């Protein structure tokens, strides 16, 4: 790796001097206090949890580390993820990233960062983005169901997770497979003080709406559930309600259906309600202790929700059926046994639900069998644990870490050996602690602790934790890595910390004392067959599928495998998987117990460093050569140390490196070895010596560069000043000459002007008097015209078209011009008014104009009609569908609809009719029957006759050749005669392209059938012409109408 100027501490612990635990911890503390949380051990990344958000993540940093090699930039988790991804993509080497550390060290966040980096740098596309989103969204779902608040960590993973992300040949993700290990299901029924149950319980109660809670038969208050810690219901910085929405959304993205999500929540609610099932003491008739359910309400609600027979569930909780090949024996359970059965059922339901969720996620993200793929595995698993009271869980966790340490040592040495072989350097055996003897102590098939535990669980007779411990003491009495009170007494050793029910194993990270209490029960992990069968009988599809062994057809008397055997098998498969891949390590460290930023607990970090074997890792890395680098980068960095290679070297890279090291006296052949492509340096001291010489040489070169630069800058400055002085002088002289020339030119022009003026005046005196009068009169007229126009401009009347005021002309000579200007101004006002009108207003004015042309000055009813707008519909035609049917839709809207009076041809009496005027017809209909009595086409209308009075009488003359006209003309009376005749005139003009003759007279002739009748209209005594109309017949050819 390269050494950067300004780096804080040692970025790679392989180069640490002296190599001691104290110096290593000081280096980690120094970097942590300066917010440098990442440190290398070769290609191993050590990460110290900062307990705060640092500005070292995001797209900008992803792009930076994507373009650089592993050691080119500061240590970072992106660098390790990039190295793994690039090796997978371009070298076709399957990768695995092992993330270890104790609870609260940041393992989960580290795995998220690795996955987010890989998702950001791999290919794009709709399908690829969908796969990436599903892989990323699996995290919140697994965290909700598998994480909980502990004393050490608010979001502690209570299960181990290994995810294989599968890629195609282009490096784009295809899908993945998730494997989970040893969920801490005991947390379901019991939590330590200050801890919570799994997140999903609190998220469900806080985030579900009232309708969902009612359907699940739950209450929002967490204090009402026995399985939830009443002291701790909320976690600072964690919004359970919001997280519940996120979990639902994530499950939808992954591919869960709404029905499956509802099933999962119902089974989760079932676990909560099981905790509230209270059991009480009862006694059988023979006096044997038994148990029963105190309040049957909880069991009834469970039965309703899950489709279970509540009596069947109560029987399964309070009794046990022992089946043999010949008979079945039902035994009643006392309260303690019943509570154990209830809790075992709750733990099994939740554990199996978690496994179902993992399998369901795998179904969504799995890859087709036929596709060729590359694999990157990410292992997020518990770190080494040493608690005050270590039980079965800590035993299997530490066993897993022993196996991981074994993998690390073997693969690291293998990688070193392969690199030495590749570079042609002889391999020397490295002395290191081989923890294979500890792994064998635990996992040996016949004589291992797990084998003895299984044997004790399967053995008939009285079996207890004490008999298991006695067997271990007998078998491992002389084993160097096993201790107990019995073996210490045999060796005459006294240790007051060792209890009678304890044994101790000397792990690679330190000695751990285990209490054997509950080892047998936890390893058996038994669930009574009655409970399995009761769950299988449920009508709930998901719950039924979780207990396939409850099916009587598949019932088996074979004992299920123990928890230890299952875990051992899982670890073996995991180890096989890891051995087949290229490993990458992230060692996570928790700096303090209080989750406070900036605090570094020396004792706590030292303990974790020993658990993780950091010092051992460094020793293995430094067993051969502490530093190695390719010839080209080494030459580029250190070529300035030799005059032969500086400033330019034309030879080969290796010859240049040999030339540099040959001129340095301290670099002996024992300290370094030349490989085929790399230089290997044994001691960090040699590397630090090279760095110190490089620093001194850089100072010398910097001084030389500064000296040359200062000389160049002074010379350049002098030359610039000299050029500037010459330029200023030339500009000054030029300016002075330009000013002098300007003065001479101005003087010459002035003299020329005076001379030309004198000559012009001399020539003009001859002709001045002859044209003086014309010039003066023209000037005076222009002045008057200008004064008139400016005065008119300042006194213009308003822009209203009704305002006809206009200022008078001041002089008679401007009268014609003034009148023309008045006319133009009025036309302009009219045009401006017309431009502001809407099409509808224009049409109204055109009708008014037509009325004016027809009746202005001719009929007395015209003036009152001018200010009244034409409505057209005076009978409410829109509200009368019967009348609307009389008009054809093809003719367009009705132009006029009003009630008129028709004068009878025989006796002169009047009767009411409804008149409808359309673009093609005049329709007369009865006011009562609403049926068309007469339809007159506009082409049949020959003319119209009206009087000059204010009356509404008019004669409608029809052509004789029409079918309607054969009956004669019509004599009608209208209250809106001006509007009616105007609209009729325009309709005839539009339809027939002819003007309708309109006659205004007090006497006119109408044709009734085959005879003509003269209608004479006279005014009544009132004399205003708008009184009551009366008709009197005068013979057979006369009709007198009084208005």
* Marked catalytic residue, from 111, 139, 150, 153: 153
Report the alpha-carbon distance of residue 323 to residue 559 in Å, rounded: 12
Judge whether 385 counts as a catalytic residue: yes
> In the structure encoding, which two tokens stand for residue 951, read together?
């009356």
Q: Is 104 a catalytic residue?
A: yes
- Tokens coding 188: 């379901």
Q: CA-to-CA distance for 68 and 83, rounded, in angstroms?
A: 9
Could you say which of 109, 260, 312, 385 is catalytic? 385
Q: How far is CA 109 from the centre of its chain?
A: 20
Nearest-angstrom CA–CA distance, 800 and 802 = 5
Q: Which of 43, 47, 100, 108 is the catalytic position?
A: 108
Query: Measured between alpha carbons, how far is 112 from 106 in angstroms, rounded to an integer?
Result: 10
* Token pair listed for 221: 């208050």
Catalytic-labelled residue, pool 100, 157, 229, 523: 157
Contact by Cβ (8 Å): 976, 970: no
Question: Do residues 231 and 192 touch, judged by C-beta distance below 8 A?
Answer: no
Annotated catalytic residue, options 275, 377, 383, 656: 383
| Burial class of residue 564, CB neighbours in 10 A (0-12, 13-18, 19+) | buried
DSSP, collapsed to helix, strand or coil, labels residue 854 as helix
- At residue 180, the 3 state secondary structure works out as strand
Cβ atoms of 653 and 674 within 8 Å: the answer is: no
Candidates 116, 156, 517, 865; catalytic one: 156
Spatial distance between the Cα atoms of 250 and 254, rounded to a whole number of angstroms: 6
Look up 103 and say whether it is catalytic: yes
139-159 residues labelled b (16+ CB within 10 A) or e (exposed): bbbbbbbbbbbbeebbbbbbb
Phi then psi dihedrals of residue 330, to 5 deg: -100, 125
Q: Which among 356, 373, 348 has a CA at the least distance from the CA of 180?
A: 356
108 assigned to active site? yes
Residue 311 vs residues 265, 299, 515: alpha-carbon distances, Å: 24, 8, 40
With b for 16 or more beta-carbon neighbours within 10 A and e for fewer, the 80-95 pattern comes to bbbbbbbbbbeeeebb
Q: Which of 42, 101, 104, 550 is catalytic?
A: 104
Q: Which residues of 32-51 are buried (b: 16+ CB within 10 A; e: fewer)?
A: beeebbbbbbbbbbbbbbbb
Place of tokens 């199996």: 352
> What does DSSP say about strands 921-926 and 910-917: parallel, antiparallel, or unpaired?
antiparallel
Beta carbons within 8 Å of 712's beta carbon, 6+ residues apart: none
What is the 8-class DSSP label of residue 809? P
- The CB density around residue 68, as the number of other CB atoms within 10 Å, is 13
Query: Distance between CA atoms of 571 and 381, rounded to whole angstroms?
Result: 11
The secondary structure element, H or E, covering residue 327 is none
CA-wise closest residue to 122 among 82, 70, 72: 82
Measured between its terminal Cα atoms, the distance across the chain in Å is 122
Does the bond joining 268 to the residue before it have cis omega, within 30 degrees of 0? no
For residues 1021 and 1042, give the distance between their C-alpha atoms in angstroms, rounded to a whole number: 9
Residue tagged active-site, from 43, 82, 103, 940: 103
d(CA 618, CA 205) in angstroms, rounded, equals 49
3-class SS at 850?
A: helix
- Strand, coil or helix: 220: coil
Cα(178)–Cα(186) distance, integer angstroms: 22
Spell 705-740 as b/e; 16+ CB within 10 A means b.
Answer: eeeeeeeeeeeeeeeeeeeeeeeeeeeeeeeeeeee
Structure letter (DSSP) for residue 334: -
The CA distance from 717 to 731, in Å, is 21
Angle at 95 between CA 89 and CA 97, to 5 degrees: 125
> What residues act catalytically?
103-104, 108, 153, 156-157, 383, 385
């Amino acid at each position: 790796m390269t050494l950067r100027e300004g780096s804080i501490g040692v970025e790679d612990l392989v180069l640490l001097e002296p190599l001691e635990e104290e110096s290593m911890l000081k280096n980690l503390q120094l970097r942590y206090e300066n917010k440098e949380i990442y440190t290398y051990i070769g290609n191993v990344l050590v990460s110290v949890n900062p307990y705060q958000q640092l500005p070292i993540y995001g797209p900008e940093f992803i792009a930076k580390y994507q373009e650089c090699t592993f050691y080119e930039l500061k240590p970072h988790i992106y660098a390790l993820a990039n190295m793994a991804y690039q090796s997978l993509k371009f070298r076709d080497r399957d990768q695995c990233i092992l993330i270890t550390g104790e609870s609260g060290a940041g393992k989960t966040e580290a795995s998220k960062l690795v996955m987010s980096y890989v998702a950001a740098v791999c290919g794009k596309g709709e399908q690829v983005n969908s796969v990436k989103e599903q892989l990323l969204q699996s995290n919140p779902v697994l965290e909700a169901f598998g994480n909980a608040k502990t004393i050490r960590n608010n979001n502690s993973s209570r299960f181990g997770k290994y995810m294989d992300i599968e890629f195609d040949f282009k490096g784009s993700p295809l899908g993945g497979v998730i494997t989970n290990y040893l969920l801490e299901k005991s947390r379901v029924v019991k939590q330590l003080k200050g801890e919570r149950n799994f997140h999903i319980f609190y998220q469900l109660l806080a985030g579900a709406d009232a309708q969902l809670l009612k359907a699940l038969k739950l209450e929002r208050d967490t204090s009402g559930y026995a399985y939830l810690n009443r002291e701790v219901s909320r976690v600072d910085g964690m919004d359970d309600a919001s997280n519940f929405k996120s979990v639902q959304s994530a499950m939808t993205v992954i591919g869960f259906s709404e029905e499956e999500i509802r099933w999962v929540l119902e089974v989760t609610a079932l676990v909560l309600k099981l905790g509230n099932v209270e059991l009480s003491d009862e006694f059988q008739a023979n006096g044997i202790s038994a148990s029963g359910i105190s309040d049957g309400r909880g069991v009834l609600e469970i039965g309703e929700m899950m489709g279970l027979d509540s009596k069947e569930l109560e029987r399964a909780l309070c009794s046990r059926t022992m089946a043999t090949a010949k008979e079945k024996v039902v035994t009643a359970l006392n309260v303690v046994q019943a509570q154990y059965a209830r809790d075992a059922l709750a733990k099994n339901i939740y554990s199996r639900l978690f496994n179902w969720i993992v399998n369901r996620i795998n179904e969504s993200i799995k890859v087709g069998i036929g596709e060729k793929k590359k694999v990157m595995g990410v292992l997020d698993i518990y770190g080494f644990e040493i608690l005050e009271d270590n039980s079965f869980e800590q035993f299997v966790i530490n066993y897993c870490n022993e196996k991981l340490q074994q993998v690390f040592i073997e693969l690291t040495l293998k990688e070193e050996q392969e690199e030495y072989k590749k570079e042609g350097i002889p391999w020397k055996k490295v002395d290191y602690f081989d923890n294979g003897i500890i792994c064998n102590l635990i996992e040996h098939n016949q004589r291992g602790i797990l084998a003895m535990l299984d044997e004790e669980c399967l053995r008939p007779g009285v079996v207890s934790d004490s008999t298991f411990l006695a067997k271990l003491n007998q078998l491992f009495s002389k084993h160097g890595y096993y201790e107990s009170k019995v073996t210490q007494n045999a060796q005459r050793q006294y240790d007051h910390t060792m209890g009678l029910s304890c044994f101790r194993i000397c792990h690679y990270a330190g000695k751990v004392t285990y209490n054997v209490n509950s080892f047998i029960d936890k390893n058996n992990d038994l669930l009574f067959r009655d409970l399995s069968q009761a769950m299988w009988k449920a009508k709930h599809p998901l719950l039924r599928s979780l207990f396939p062994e409850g099916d009587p057809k598949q019932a088996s008397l074979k004992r299920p495998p123990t928890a230890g055997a299952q875990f051992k098998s899982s670890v073996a498969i995991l180890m096989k998987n890891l051995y087949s891949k290229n490993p990458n390590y992230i060692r996570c460290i928790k700096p303090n117990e209080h989750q406070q930023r900036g605090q570094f607990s020396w004792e706590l970090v030292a303990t974790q460093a020993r658990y993780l074997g950091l010092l051992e890792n460094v020793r293995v890395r430094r067993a051969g050569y502490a530093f190695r680098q390719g010839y080209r980068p080494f030459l580029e960095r250190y070529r300035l140390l030799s005059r032969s290679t500086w400033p330019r070297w034309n030879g080969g890279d290796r010859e240049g490196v040999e030339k540099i090291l040959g001129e340095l006296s301290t670099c002996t052949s024992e300290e370094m070895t030349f490989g085929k492509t790399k230089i290997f340096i044994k001691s960090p001291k040699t590397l630090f010596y090279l760095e110190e010489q490089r620093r001194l040489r850089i100072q010398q070169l910097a001084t030389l560069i500064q000296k040359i630069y200062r000389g160049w800058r002074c010379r350049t400055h002098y030359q610039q000043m000299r050029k500037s002085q010459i330029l200023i002088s030339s500009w000054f002289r030029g300016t002075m000459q330009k000013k002098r020339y300007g003065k001479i030119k101005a003087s010459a022009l002035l003299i020329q002007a005076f001379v030309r003026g004198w000559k012009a005046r001399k020539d003009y005196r001859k002709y001045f008097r002859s044209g003086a009068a014309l010039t003066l009169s023209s000037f005076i007229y222009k002045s008057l015209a200008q004064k008139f126009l400016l005065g008119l401009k300042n006194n213009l009347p308003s822009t209203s078209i009704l305002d006809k005021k206009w200022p008078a002309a001041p002089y008679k000579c401007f009268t014609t011009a003034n009148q023309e200007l008045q006319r133009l101004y009025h036309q302009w006002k009219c045009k401006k008014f017309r431009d502001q009108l809407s099409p509808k207003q224009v049409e109204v004015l055109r009708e008014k104009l037509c009325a004016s042309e027809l009746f202005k000055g001719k009929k007395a009813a015209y003036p009152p009609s001018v200010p009244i707008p034409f409505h057209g519909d005076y009978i409410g035609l829109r509200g009368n569908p019967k009348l609307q049917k009389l008009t054809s839709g093809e003719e367009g809207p009705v132009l006029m609809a009003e009630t008129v009076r028709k004068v009878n041809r025989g006796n002169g009496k009047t009767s009411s009719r409804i008149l409808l005027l359309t673009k093609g017809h005049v329709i007369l209909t009865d006011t009562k029957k609403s049926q068309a009595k007469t339809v007159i086409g506009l082409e049949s209308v020959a003319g119209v006759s009206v009087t000059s009075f204010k009356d509404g009488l008019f004669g409608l003359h029809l052509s004789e050749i029409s079918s309607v006209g054969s009956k004669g003309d019509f004599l009608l009376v209208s209250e809106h005669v001006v509007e009616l005749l105007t609209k009729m005139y325009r309709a005839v003009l539009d339809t027939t392209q002819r003007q309708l003759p309109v006659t205004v007279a007090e006497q006119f002739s109408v044709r009734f059938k085959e005879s003509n009748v003269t209608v004479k209209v006279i005014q009544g005594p009132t004399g205003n012409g708008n009184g009551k109309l009366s008709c009197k017949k005068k013979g057979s050819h006369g009709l007198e109408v009084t208005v």
